[in-house]
């Protein structure tokens, strides 16, 4: 922040009006669903094996989570993205730019 201020920017630490944990969980839900579908595609369309040798462990785990989720889980997660998008849109009516890397660091 100090570097940006030194460069002449007006910098403020602010937060959008949303539940950060909910946003993060819903992000994982959608990603897990996509990974599960991708692993299925690799097996059935490309006829390639899906195992620890061919897929990285975090993605095998995400795929397993995705298989346990329901269509309702996926749709609710995607709908929550619209809420988050609106919150970010509101925030950006007052600011010209945000630093998502800083936000991500905050979440983690």
Tell me how far, at minimum, the Cβ of 28 lies from other proteins, in Å. Answer: 11
# chain residues binding other proteins, by CB under 8 A: 17
Among 1, 61, 92, 104, binds other proteins (CB under 8 A): 104
Tell me how far, at minimum, the Cβ of 43 lies from other proteins, in Å. Answer: 9
Range 22-41, binding other proteins (CB under 8 A): 31, 34-35, 38
Among 4, 17, 54, 107, binds other proteins (CB under 8 A): 54
Residue 46 contacts other proteins per CB under 8 A? yes
Closest CA to 18 of 70, 81, 69, 96: 81
3-state secondary structure of 88: helix
Residue 49 contacts other proteins per CB under 8 A? yes
The distance from CA 44 to its chain's CA centroid, rounded to whole angstroms, is 27
CA distances from 31 to 21, 78, 80, 83, 103 (A): 15, 10, 14, 18, 19
- Torsion, Cα 55 47 38 63, to 10 degrees, reads -50
The site for other proteins (CB under 8 A) is made up of 31, 34-35, 38, 42, 46, 48-50, 53-56, 58-59, 62, 104
């Amino acid at each position: 922040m100090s570097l940006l201020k030194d460069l002449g920017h007006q910098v403020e630490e602010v937060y959008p009006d949303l539940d950060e944990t909910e946003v993060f969980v819903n992000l994982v839900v959608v990603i897990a669903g996509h990974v599960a579908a991708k692993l299925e595609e690799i097996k059935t369309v490309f006829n390639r094996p899906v195992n620890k040798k061919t897929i990285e462990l975090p993605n095998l785990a995400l795929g397993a989570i995705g298989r346990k989720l329901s269509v309702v889980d996926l749709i609710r997660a995607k709908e929550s993205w619209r809420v988050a998008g609106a919150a970010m849109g509101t925030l950006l009516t007052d600011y010209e730019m945000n630093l998502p890397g800083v936000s991500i660091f905050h979440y983690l």
